[in-house]
Structures are given as C-alpha cells and as structure tokens.
Amino acid sequence: MTALPMAAPAPAAAAPAIRAPRRALLPSTAVGTLAPALLVSAGYVDPGNWGTDVAAGAQFGYRLVWVLALATGLALFLQYLSARLGLASGQDLASLLRTRLPRPARAVLIPPILGVLVVTEIVEVLGVVIGVQLLTGWSTGSSVAVATALVVTILVAPPGVARRTVYTCLGLVGAVYLTVLFLNGIGDVVAGLRPESLPPGGIVVAAGLIGAVVMPHNILLHSALARDLRHAADRRDGGQATPARLARLSRRSLTTTAAALGVAFAVNCAIMSITASGSSSGTDLAGALGSSAATFGAATTILFAITLIGAGLASSTAGGMVSADVISRLLPSFPAPPAVRRIACLVPAALIAGSGLPQVTVLVWSQVLLTVALPLVLVPLVWFSSERRTVGRWALTPAVRGVAIAVTGGMFLAGLASLLA
C-alpha cells in the first residue's frame, strides 16, 4: 500500500484548529511512529483473536486464512486513515465526536461506543483469567484474583512501565508464535491465502476474524496516538508542524503499522495452525488444544497459557490507555478513574469465566459484535477525514472516500449476515 493521495487544498480553506490534549498517550518527546504501531498491534493479538483463530483452525483448518489476510489488509487501510486524521487535525476521533457532532448524533453514537469499549475490556481481562486457569488449573475464583492483581499492578504503574510491559509481552508472543509457524511450516498457510467460498457454518467465525482484527477501539487509539505525534511535531517546529514533516510522519506511520500488522498476521496464522493441525472442535481453549499436544508436545498448553496471559496483559494495558483517553473526551465529568473501571470489568469477566459458557464461543461472538459495531467509529472517521475544515489539504479524494465507504458497508453486512446465519 502506498501513501494515499492528498486532495488539493481549497482556496478558502482555513487551517484546522489545533488544541493540545489534556493528557498524552505518548511521552511529550515522541515524534517517531514505532511506538504507536506497537501499541496498536497489541489489539491484533488480543484474546479475541486467540478465540477466533482457535475456532477457525479447529473447525475449518486453513480454509479461512484468506479471510484473516483480507481483514489485516483492511485494518491497515483503516488504521492509516485514523493516523492521518490525528496528524492532520491535531485532534483525536473521540474529541471530534464530542465537539463537532450535534447533540442528537452524540446521543445515538456515544453510548454504544462506550459499550463497545466495555466489551473489549471484558474480553481482554477474560483472556488473562483463562490464561491463568490454563497455566495453573486453579479454580475460577483463584484465577480471577491472580488476573486482578496482574492487571491492577500494571494499571497503577507509571506510564513508562506500562508501555514497556506492552512491548515485552508483544515480544514474547511474537517470538513464540513466529517460531511455531516456522516449525509447523508455512505451506498450508500459503495455500489458505487463496480465496474460496466460505465453508458451511463459516460465516460466524469469518465475521469474528474480521472483528478481532479491525477493532473499533484500535481506530480510536490510533487517532489519539497520531494526535500526540502531531503536537510533538508542532513543538519541534516552533508552533506549527511543517507540511514536509507531517508527510514524513504519515509515510512512516504507514510503514511501521504495516510491519506491525504483518507480524500480527503471522502470529494469528500460527495460533490458527495449532488447532488446524489437529482434529479438535472443542469450545474451550484447553479442549481445543488437546488434540494438538501430540504434534507440538506436552508443553503446548503451558506455552499457550503463558502467551495468552502476555497477550491479555498487553492488549488490556493498551486498551486501558485508549479507554481512559476516550472516556475523558466523550464524558469529561465521568468520575471513575481507570483502575476502578478496569476492576469493574473484572466482575463480568469473572462471571463469564465461572459460568461454564464455552470460552471459544464467547470470544468468537464478542468479536462478531465488534464487527457489527464498527460503523459507529468508521462512519465518523470517513466523514471527518473528508472535511477540509477538519483536515485541510489532507481531505480524502472522492475515490479513496468511496473505498472507505464500501469497506465500512461491507464489514457491517458481514457482521449482520453472521447474526442472521
């Protein structure tokens, strides 16, 4: 993918207003794009991905690899649009929703967006709980207590510690599953890249794969991270970032995001290969892994559990950052601090973990819900990215805007079709 073309500026278009954020997600000196790419990539290997990858591999082998590849390509396109919006406007999508939309539109959009954030946080925390259960065999209560301690410890840690935790966990997950992919061979994965009709019963899992990759909270996160880069660039250039610097940041954002999503795609393929190589169709993660133990050794479940905890902590930390940032902008007077909100999300996660509901089924359907909810953030993203008064010369061309609208509609229809299947 190459950098998107910029429309020529309208003669009377004014430069967009730049307002400094109340708090930054990145250090004030950050002007690079690797940190945003890594933080965003945490959402592409979260426990929701684990569940859909395991379900896809167990039920359909490698036949849905092409869906995963398509979702990753679409995610790159949409994440790039989100980064462009933050760089061009100096504002994040959540702030634009609150300040630029009329009250009736805010009343329709904001509550379900907040609901989507809650669902995402519950799934991320649930992944940590399940990982602890897989690793230790402890009861739900003990596993929830350990998961709570891990999540809250990272929440109350200084921001630098939280970011390093994300990077460390992502490094662990990447190293393990790239090795798994190498040992298992990539021939079947490559063969699965060839598009084919969905197998019977595959629409729900396919929609889950899309929702697990193209996540609403990641779109919100990337615009906020790019906003911070814009303000850092403004300070470096003495008050207003030069067009040349913004263009460089845009290109680097595309490159680093593509690299991060490429690694995330490989990790997801590796997770899918663990169950695709067996014959299990289990609806809990431990059962789904059971048939693969002979292929990957007795350490399969232990390794899977450790990396699932790492992925859950990474995505939970990054998700907590974006949730706190979004809530502070959509609901400036909301009183609950991030730690209190995350502990509250542990309650439904604990109830789900102890309810006996099939873990894989819960994770898959949570991602289907995210697919259906995607237009809540994608429609405003495309709208603001097309407004010259918001992004100036960075406004989307009609062709790119048409593609973005088609992608938004297609994802919504995929989610709707899965609900009706």
Give per-residue pLDDT as tens, 70-122: 999 999 999 999 999 999 999 999 999 999 999 999 999 999 998 888 888 88
DSSP assignment of 7-20 equals PPPPTTPPPPP---
Query: For 194-253, how does the pLDDT look when each residue is reduced to its tens digit (9 = 90+)?
Result: 999 999 989 999 999 999 999 898 999 899 999 999 999 999 888 888 999 999 999 999
pLDDT of residue 18: 37
pLDDT of residue 278: 61
Q: Which residue has the tokens 């892994």?
A: 289
Of 209, 101, 211, 166, nearest in space to 322 by CA: 166
For the chain, residues with pLDDT lower than 70 are 1-33, 277-299, 336, 338-339, 341-346
Retrieve residue 415's tokens. Answer: 């989610």
Domains of the chain, residue spans: 38-420
pTM for this structure? 0.87
3-state secondary structure of 269: helix
Class of domain 38-420: mainly alpha
Give the count of beta carbons closer than 10 Å to the beta carbon of residue 365. 20
Hey, what's the torsion of the CAs at 172, 173, 178, 183, to 10 degrees? Answer: 90
pLDDT of residue 288: 62
Q: For residues 187 and 137, give the distance between their C-alpha atoms in angstroms, rounded to a whole number.
A: 35
Q: Which residue has the tokens 């407004």?
A: 387
Of 282, 316, 297, nearest in space to 179 by CA: 297
Q: For residues 215 and 205, give the distance between their C-alpha atoms in angstroms, rounded to a whole number.
A: 15
Report the interhelical angle of 359-373 vs 398-420 (nearest 10°): 140
3-state helix, strand, coil split of the chain in percent (to 5) is 75, 0, 25
pLDDT of residue 246: 92
